Structure 1
Amino acid sequence: LDGFLAALQQVVDRHDIYRTGVMWEGLPEPVQVVRRRAVVPVTEATLTDGGNPAAELIAIAGRWMDVRRAPLLRVYVAAEPGSERWVALVQVHHLLQDHTASEVVLSEVAALMTGRGDTLPVPLPFRDFVAQARLGVSRAEHEEYFAQLLRDVTEPTLPFGLADARGDGTGAQQARVMVDDSLAERVRERARGLGVSPATLFHVAWARVLAVLAGRSDVVFGTVLLGRMNAGVGAERIPGPFMNTLPVRMDVADTDVVGAVRAMQAQLAGLLVHEHAPLALAQAASDVPTSVPLFTALFNYRHSNRVRSDAPQSGDTRPGGVAGMRVLLGEDRTNYPLAVSVDDLGVGFGLTTGVVAPGDPELVCDLMQTAVESLVTALEEAPRTPLRAVEVLAPTGRERVLVEWNDTDRVVPEETVVGLFERQVARDPGAVAVEQGGVGVSY
């Protein structure tokens, strides 16, 4: 453990991004401040005998981090009662690190712990990439692009009615499924036939599902961009916040399936040019008030060598091949109340959904699988099928919604809804009848 902590501090010393804090108070815009020295805070905690070490450390550490203080990385350690094992929780803010960066960090920690630190490449200054991101495309060009995309959007897209985009992810429930192998093969074959990536098809399927969950045909959602595509030489081995979230828009009532795929392909290609644009700038280009989120659903298509899990996996290996260490748990959190991730495993696909109540993660996974299959079938057999006709409910789900939930073969009181309403008013005239945004309206 001591060797791991020492190596982690050396990684922070090597990379300026890990000595970063973000300041905004009293400034015209947020700025990145890099310290010459930033010590990784290490807190020793005490665990209960027989408890869950990972869950306890997470509870002790909490979810929030002060982004003004560098480094945006902290460690909590504890001796496991009844054993000689130590457990360490490493928390890193996503402002510093994406999945690629985490692999870079673990490989450097492994090299330093095994005496191979002299083989590590000279770290590249992250400020070079900051300059490229800020100077590559002008703010005016960003504003023009997003104005064309969003200028007539007046309402946010809120699946399940979820409007809070400032949470910490603690209330989200997760579900994971693997896409059927035969369907995965069909997705890749149809994508090749259309000259697009599988990511494009999954984005279209998600737009169709989101339209159902939000109860609107014209939807906007956030898509995660890698940010390293045009970052220059060395970007693949530099830690840092290359990734970005930007809006995608699709009107599912205004196109057929082939047109939707072509439009999505063009839109995703356009986003790559603006992959470093601030999300606040994109939202300002719409007519949605700045006090309201433009969207509360996040979509992330990512290439992965395995489906991520929040539970220990028998296949987990020691981080970086360091003897005496193994990964017990790894989890990502987001402020968005609904997040859907597609793991491209090279052959198959995994779906991961996290959503807060009243959303149902298993339902979202089911809807996505059905939509993907229905979309691929339409592309194969009837390319001019309207996108709005792509099914999102499997036969069992349709039976439940259309038949079981509409079974009215039962005795009801011989009284109207208005009459029931009047009786309630008589019982409690001051009771709240309608509540919206914390404001109640009495009868």
Structure 2
Amino acid sequence: ARGYLNREEETAKRFTADPFVPGERMYRTGDLVKWNAQCGIEYIGRIDQQVKVRGYRIELSEIEVRLAQLAGVHDAAVTAVEDKAGNTALCAYVAPQQDDIEALKAALKDTLPDYMVPAFWVEMDELPVTANGKIDKKALPEPDIEAGSAAYKAPETEMETLLSDIWQEVLGLDQIGVSDNFFTLGGDSIKGIQMASRLNQHGYKLEMKDLFQHPTIEELVSYVERTEGKQADQGPVEGEAELTPIQRWFFEKNFTNKHHWNQSVMLHA
């Protein structure tokens, strides 16, 4: 990364000069750690508002700023919570003039990517504040996770049923409706690939970008396409295979103990 777009002050704060390699930069992650008695590093928590959702690092303050810009919103706060699948999700607390959370969601989607739009919303008359007038996030109520989930809507068409069955298999759930959000249910990019692979076995294909942009079955179903049923050539592959950039870097460094870079892992079926 080169920095934060149009945020020079944040870039200067996060990307600092590398004291070990002159001319290079280091990135302050915002993680708080400590040394233990065994000279190991123990993770304590965060010293900022950055969280990780669906593999993306998100600044909660960025979402709060966008919410505050929406018409009718007096105050707004965003926190990270745990959804019913045990995954990190975003929850927005708003004190709007109008009782229309769906309109706020739609407006937020116009300026932010889907993974930055909160999955859970809590509407309040006013947000709790500290003695110095700042929003007191510790005093915010816990969201009703069950109420935040979409009401069950059964699949009706053959394709909706197929997608529902595949999602249940991949996500390990007993029932999935067409209005349920794939990522709110515990899906991620890896499970998305697994879902697309199973769909391909049934003669259909799906682009991953479509899943991220349309994470419910009722939205996604129109983007599923029938494949032509062609099988890739399974014969031996011949020809020159160039090194990847990381491979070229490795051999150019000419490390003395190359075996130190070996990694092994045992997977139990």
Give the structure with higher Rg (CA): 1
TM-score, scaled relative to structure 1? 0.19
Structure richer in helix, relative to its length: 1
- Per chain length, whose mean CA-contact separation is higher, i.e. which structure has more relative contact order (CA < 8 Å, sep 6+)? 1
TM-score, scaled relative to structure 2? 0.28
